[in-house]
Chains A and B, each alone.
Chain A
Amino acid sequence: GAGVSQSPRYKVAKRGQDVALRCDPISGHVSLFWYQQALGQGPEFLTYFQNEAQLDKSGLPSDRFFAERPEGSVSTLKIQRTQQEDSAVYLCASSSKPRVPSHEQFFGPGTRLTVL
């Protein structure tokens, strides 16, 4: 398919476990964004990559959150020592240009993380 894909779609973790969430952006897209969407809320920005460079990580809530995009395509969001407050849907989006408002972001279906 030509869209953004994410895996797994659902993840249940015990508190304290580490998790890794994968995002496959649209091929050739320069920009990649991660968002966190808590239940009943709008998505909140976590971090931004332009190709392999992480240019903005101001939204990461703690140092337990880490993201990478080593080859400028697939990205992984890792959460260490998960806590219950990490339970949310994690959305990935990609865009064909560097971060500008004129180019829309295409969102993946998200990964729903539940921390018990």
Chain B
Amino acid sequence: AQSVAQPEDQVNVAEGNPLTVKCTYSVSGNPYLFWYVQYPNRGLQFLLKYITGDNLVKGSYGFEAEFNKSQTSFHLKKPSALVSDSALYFCAVWNQGGKLIFGQGTELSVKP
């Protein structure tokens, strides 16, 4: 069965520093991977996806993610964090039944 794991409940970063939010996946077949962000009292917002092609995927708000097949990872990255990036981040995988399977989420806190 397809699944994703986000090993860190929380990530703390200083403003201006690079950030990484980790995600590993388990799928049979080709993985379709996603990152969403959730701000308080708001719905999930799509950041980026990997379907096929380049392993480095660029998305919204300066975020990018690197698909690594050998490590079964899809870590979210940003070169320079902003305080406004503080939110809850979800990694997700599309399963063969046509559903998005979400990780438990990682809370990102960016301090000035």
Give the interface segment out of A14-22, A77-85, A107-115.
A107-115
**SS class of chain A's interface: helix, strand, loop or mixed?**
loop
With A42-B104, A105-B46, A107-B44 given, is the CB distance from A99 to B98 under 8 Å? yes
A88 within 8 A of B: no
Contact partner of A101 among B36, B41, B44, B49, CB < 8 A?
B49
- Tally of contact residues, B, Cβ under 8 A: 23
Show the binding face of B for A, using Cβ within 8 Å: 32, 34, 36, 41-46, 49, 51, 90, 92, 94, 97-105
Number of contacts between A and B (CB, 8 Å)? 53
In-complex Cβ contact of A42 among B51, B98, B102 (8 A): B102
- Chain A interface residues toward B at CB < 8 A: 4, 33, 40-45, 48, 56, 58-59, 91, 93, 99-102, 104-110
